[in-house]
Each structure stands twice: as structure tokens, then as C-alpha cells.
Amino acid sequence: MKQPRAWQRMLSGRRLDLLDPTPMDIEVEDIAHGLAFVARWNGQTKGDWPYSVAEHSLLVEEIFSWQNPGIAPRWQLAALLHDAPEYVIGDMISPVKAAIGAQYGELDARLTAAVHLRFGLPAQLPVAIKKAIKSADKISAWAEAVQIAGFSETEADKLFGRPETALMRGLVIRLEPPKVVRAAFIARHDALLAAL
């Protein structure tokens, strides 16, 4: 019996095997393009543009850097790339991920390892770095939930935990067209890579 196709052709011309990804088939332009067109919150956000995973990734990296002043650029890069696999597997809200189970997590982990290796990061991040990125991710999710996804602060507090007030000052989510976000993601990636 013939195996089903498990690869996707990327705009760069690469063929990315989703089940057995290799770092050689990963390009930042493909990641940035894909993430700029993947909507967070299943597209259920206010505004004229969907809030993309690329925008979320930029925000998480910014929050991570605020929370960890002087942290090495490699870990800032890890924060920027924390949802990179979603450029090919999409973004699923937490209840759907839980319903699918371990298979989604395994696919995500394989893609994450390939992305990390492609850009000079360890396949698996140190636990402390992973926790720090998750902390920034939860703050971003709280801000997104309250500012653009229609959640009350009370509801967001229960789901994501209430962020420190100081971190939330000046944190305003502005939706941008995919073209702008794609360019911002690539520029930030390039700046962090150059700083390594």
C-alpha cells in the first residue's frame, strides 16, 4: 500500500517532510510567510486583519526580552520562533490540542527541533528558557484575549493568570496586514541571528 504524501512544497521551493523534517528544508522566509497568514484565536478577533501567529511571536519575544533584560540573543531568537511549527501545521486553540492528544505534540516537537537546529539553537531548549518563554506567551495570550478576542479580564485571569501591571503598561496590540508582519518577523529574525 502506498504511503500518503507527508511533505509540503514551500514557496522557497523546499519540500518539507512534516513527519520527518530536516533543518535543511527550513527557511525563515517560509516561516514568516506562513505565520503571517495563520490567524490566532481561530480568527475570532476584532479588527480589519486577523491577528497572526507572526504578530503573536513578535510580541512574545518582546515580552520575553522585557522580562529577561540582558538575556542572550539566542534565547530571544528561541522566543521569536516558539510557535514556528504553526507555519505548516496551523494554530489550534488549546481545547482542540487537548482533544487531539499527544500526536499533535509529537508533530510539533519534531518540527520545533528541526527549526531550532536550522538556526543554531539546541533541538530542545533548557527548561529555564522554555519556562521563561511560556511565561511571556501567557502574558501575550492574556493581552490578546482582553484587547482583541472579546474576553473579560476576569475570564482571562482564570485562563492565563493575571500579569503584573507594570508589564501591561503600554502593551497595545495593533493588527497589521500580513505583508507588514512578514517583513517585521524576518527583520527581527535577521537582527537576532546577526547578534549571535
Residue 5, pLDDT above cutoff 90: no
Q: Is residue 61 part of a domain?
A: yes
The β-bridge partners of 15 are 9
Three-state secondary-structure class, residue 117: helix
Q: Specify the pLDDT at position 167.
A: 78
Alpha carbon of residue 51 to chain centroid: 12
Sign of the alpha-carbon dihedral angle for 153, 156, 157, 163: negative
Q: What is the CA radius of gyration of the chain?
A: 17
In a domain, 17, yes or no: no
In angstroms, rounded to a whole number, what is the distance separating the alpha carbons of residues 144 and 43? 12
β 7-9/15-17 pair status: antiparallel
Cα separation of 72 and 93, whole Å?
30
4 belongs to a structural domain: no
Sign, CA dihedral 59-108-124-117, equals: negative
Counted residue by residue, the chain has a size of 196
Instruction: Find the CATH number of the domain harbouring 175.
Output: 1.10.3210.10
pTM more than 0.85: yes
Q: What is the DSSP string of 39-99?
A: BGGGG--SSSS--BHHHHHHHHHHHHHHHSTT--HHHHHHHHTTTTTHHHH----HHHHHH
Q: What is the average pLDDT value for the chain, to the nearest integer?
A: 94
The answer to the question of residue 146 being in a domain is yes
**Of all residues in the chain, what percent carry a pLDDT higher than 70?**
99
117 in any annotated domain: yes
Do the domain assignments include residue 66? yes
pLDDT for 110 equals 96
The answer to whether 185 touches 36, Cβ cutoff 8 Å, is yes
Q: Do 89 and 162 touch, CB atoms closer than 8 A?
A: no
Q: Spell 119-143 as b/e; 16+ CB within 10 A means b.
A: bebeeebeeebeebbebbbbbbbbb
Q: Write out pLDDT tens, residues 142-164.
A: 999 999 999 999 999 999 999 98
- What is the pLDDT, as a whole number, of residue 1? 67
Instruction: Give the pLDDT confidence of 31-74 residue by residue, as tens digits.
Output: 999 999 999 999 999 999 999 999 999 999 999 999 999 999 99
187: containing domain: 24-195
Structural element, H or E, at residue 7: strand 7-9
Number of domains in the chain: 1
> Are the CB atoms for 158 and 141 separated by under 8 Å?
no
pLDDT tens-digit profile of 90-116? 998 888 888 888 888 899 999 999 999
Banded model confidence at residue 166, pLDDT cuts 50, 70, 90: confident
